[in-house]
Amino acid sequence: MQKNRPNLSFDYREAPRTHLRACDHPGCREAGEHRAPKGRDKLNEYYWFCLDHVRDYNKSWDFYAGMTQDEIERHVRQDTTWQRPSWPMGDWRTHERRTRDKVFNGGFAFGADWSGEEGETRRNAPRPKPRTAEEEALTVLELPPDADFATIKARYRQLAKQYHPDANGGAKEAEERLKSINQAYTTLKAAFGGQQPDQA
């Protein structure tokens, strides 16, 4: 008795292709299998040509047709940076140096390049000292570090008058500012050896 066996023969001939796009060249009946952009402002819209007609189209294609020489030059320059903005040379180095300085001054050394004299200078550079109470007080009074006591006293009287609650309608901000001014003046007066008491 003969068993039914599946038909294992294959036809390797290419099946006829259907729904082929016709070539967009007028009068051509070949299949349009090769695309070409419709224009400079329509790079995502395409004509579909047969091989012969896409070759002819590409030979006559001029991306810069209709553009002035200045427009062409500007476009070429933009293309060299992939249409992205550019910055003057050296700016990135300045930014990198400032970033490294911030990292080193903050006491962090991860990712640092310790090689060379510059790295050694940065590694061995002393950290800035914290400001003293007197320096802080001078900052509150908006005075330079070399101010003498007469200048400090005059500045204190000016600021005390400016931020007195009576002159600011009892504003809380003025009251807090006056407190810091009084504290700063007390600190500086003690630093100058307790100068003679203020005269009204």
DSSP 112-127: ----HHHHHHHHHPPP
State pLDDT tens for residues 88-132.
Answer: 555 566 667 777 777 666 544 444 444 444 445 555 666 777 778
Residue 133 pLDDT > 50:
yes
Round to whole Å and give the CA distance between 44 and 37. 7
Q: What is the pLDDT of residue 88?
A: 55
Q: Which residues of 84-96 are buried (b: 16+ CB within 10 A; e: fewer)?
A: eeeeeeeeeeeee
Start-end of CATH 1.10.287.110 domains in the chain = 133-191
Q: What is the pLDDT of residue 5?
A: 62
Answer whether 164's CB lies under 8 Å from 175's CB.
Answer: no
Round to whole Å and give the CA distance between 161 and 196. 21
State pLDDT tens for residues 76-89.
Answer: 777 665 556 555 55
pTM over 0.85: no
Q: Which CATH superfamily is domain 133-191 in?
A: DnaJ domain (1.10.287.110)
Average pLDDT value for residue range 177-199: 79
The percent of residues in the chain predicted with pLDDT above 70, rounded, is 65
Give the CA distances from residue 185 to residues 49, 118, 152, 168, in Å, rounded to whole numbers and listed in that order.
88, 43, 8, 21
Phi, psi of 78 (to 5 degrees): -65, -35
Round to whole Å and give the CA distance between 62 and 39. 9
Residue 170 pLDDT > 70:
yes
Average pLDDT value for residue range 141-164: 89
Q: What is the pLDDT of residue 200?
A: 41
